Amino acid sequence: MKKVLILGGTGDAVKLAAQLSTIPEIEIISSLAGRTKKPAALVGQVRIGGFGGAEGLVNYLQEYSINFLIDATHPCAGHITINGAIASQIVKIPHLMLVRPQWGKVSGDNWIEVESVEAAAQAIPESVNRVFITSGRQQLEPFSQRSHTYPKTWYLMRSIDPPDIELPNSKVLLDRGPFSLEQERKLLREYEIEAIVSKNSGGDATYAKIIAARELEIPIVMVQRPAMPEGKKVASIEEAIAWLNLHRN
């Protein structure tokens, strides 16, 4: 029996665990950071909580005799991806990063590209009074700080769980993607959104907001992905399964 640890927290990770569970002599363990209070149902074993950096992940891989490590975290996760690359090298086990392709700007898109959520809050045009935040519920402090300078700005925040802090002059929508183009058009019009803040997540689940913004000529402050460590990367679940089959035989 070979053990596969999936660093999860994404829809891709859920699908990957389900498909790998059908392969004989493979034991699946999915690791979640615990940030989402109601995560999607997972097949196989599930552990919740951080590891304590790269050193803690090394200890876990060794203690539980993990044979393969697959990183299927959010493309903007950053630290856990780096820790996974470091830990797998130390333990000397095969390591794969499942990275969905990022969105590319096309004709009609009005993107303000920034390197961080902190920079995104500062990059919102001064003339904008109604902002749709889709960059995550745990990084709202920069927008709270911005409210001191621009007290008239109103924020719409969408996330799976309630945010960690309450933004002044705001509304929270609790919802989980995927979202249709019709839904996103309606939302942007209903709330008279003038700018969107988003991370470059890639994938199809939330791309409809990008199309809707393009149609309605709404600018997007787009937070770029952090640099990823060197190592084997694939863009699809099918490729990840093929990689595992190659290495386990």
What is residue 34's predicted lDDT score, i.e. its pLDDT? 64
The reply to whether 106 falls in a domain is no
CA 233, distance to chain mean position in Å, is 16
Which helix (H) or strand (E) segment is 12 a member of?
helix 11-20
If you search the block for the tokens 């863009």, which residue do you land on? 235
What is residue 213's predicted lDDT score, i.e. its pLDDT? 98
What is residue 249's predicted lDDT score, i.e. its pLDDT? 73
Check residues 229 and 41 and name the one with the higher pLDDT. 229
What's the pLDDT tens digit per position in 196-237?
999 999 988 899 999 999 999 999 999 999 888 999 999 999
Q: Percentage helix, strand, coil, to 5, in the chain?
A: 35, 20, 45
What's the pLDDT tens digit per position in 46-93?
998 889 999 999 999 999 999 999 999 988 877 899 999 999 999 999
If you search the block for the tokens 């590209």, which residue do you land on? 113
CATH number at residue 65: 3.40.50.720
Residues 224 and 199: their CA atoms lie apart, in Å, by: 6
What is residue 204's predicted lDDT score, i.e. its pLDDT? 87
Residues 86, 147, single domain; the answer is no
**150: domain range?**
111-223
Residues 2 and 51: their CA atoms lie apart, in Å, by: 21
Question: How many structural domains comprise the chain?
Answer: 2
Residues 97, 161, single domain; the answer is no
Whether 37 shows a pLDDT value over 60: the answer reads: no
Residues 156, 208, single domain; the answer is yes
The reply to whether 64 falls in a domain is yes
